[in-house]
Amino acid sequence: MIIVTGGAGFIGSNIVRGLNARGIDDILVVDDLSDGRKFRNIADANIADFLDVEAFREKIRAGQSFGKLKAIFHQGACSDTTEWDGRFMMDNNYECSKELLWYCNENKAQYIYASSAATYGAGTNFDESQDTNRPINVYGYSKWLFDQYVRRHRDQIEIQVTGLRYFNVYGPNENHKGSMASVAWHFNNQVRDEGEARLFEGTDGYADGAQLRDFIHVDDAVKVNLWFLDNPEKSGIFNVGTGKSQTFNDVANAVISWHNKGDIRYIPFPDHLKGSYQSFTEARLGLLREAGYEPEFMNVEDGVASYLDKLNVGNREK
């Protein structure tokens, strides 16, 4: 049995598809379907069972068995960087992660969990060492604190525990995320419907649309997850990005190129994001490469084209 929390969400549902592609369907998907539209992400997936996240946590706390457990991919979290309900965020992201860590340890199962580049926050040094973290929102803090918890208890842990610090992931199955969906998703909708992509004006010394992020296609993120499943002796905290930052202008131009139409319009930088926005991210991949992960990652131009091929079937301008 493999459990995927957040399995009806963006990265989780793509992990389920990746497992299915290997012929694996003994999968328990755990999620909160209060937003029932997420069912579409797993409607064509082959799984053994589905369980609501609260019922799942109750069973975990009670020590209930789910059969022979191989691994938990813990992707479930509140990923809204604008959410400031700290009690909710810490219970959902931090306490739940601890519960699953010790459950996996007791059941000798692999534990591969989603961390985030939000742990770096205002920092400009993107290696995985403890002193590079400067979270600027409670989401980033919740992820940073669990990474620290894993490090603190490493001597008591007898299993693989791998934290993956995702950078800016984009790709299929993110429609339900709304405002938190990737800029590729937003730019696609804007260019398709209105003929323009709206980007922020310059901030933090960057020119209009020239803020830099490390954009990674979800297929590449899934490949990293499955590689760690195949290599249970590899533990640690690892960046998951391309290692090469690109501008928001690059993403917009890739979308415009795919549609063969559209322009860029720059809009004022929102006041509510000032002081809590990352204008530059770029994953350092040294630890991931040292662990033995060799595949290269798609750049924005190739990744966005692949994504829009699936997102806009039949809607391309000639």
Report how far apart, in Å, the C-alpha atoms of 268 and of each of 157, 209, 264 are: 48, 11, 13
Strands 246-247 and 212-213, bridge-based pairing: antiparallel
Catalytic residue among 98, 177, 223, 244: 177
139 a catalytic residue: yes
Catalytic residue among 139, 170, 277, 307: 139
Task: Name the token pair of 289.
Answer: 């490469």
| Bridge partners, 5 (sequence order) | 30, 74
- Residue 203: which region, alpha, beta or left (left: phi > 0; alpha: psi -120 to 50)? beta
CA gap 125, 142 in Å, rounded: 19
For the beta carbon of residue 197, count every other beta carbon within 10 angstroms.
Answer: 27
What is the helix (H) or strand (E) element at residue 200, kind and residue range? strand 196-200
38 a catalytic residue: no
By C-alpha distance, which of 293, 120, 147 is closest to 221?
293
Helices 183-194 and 248-259, packing angle to 10 deg: 40
CA gap 275, 121 in Å, rounded: 10
| Residues that are catalytic | 139, 177
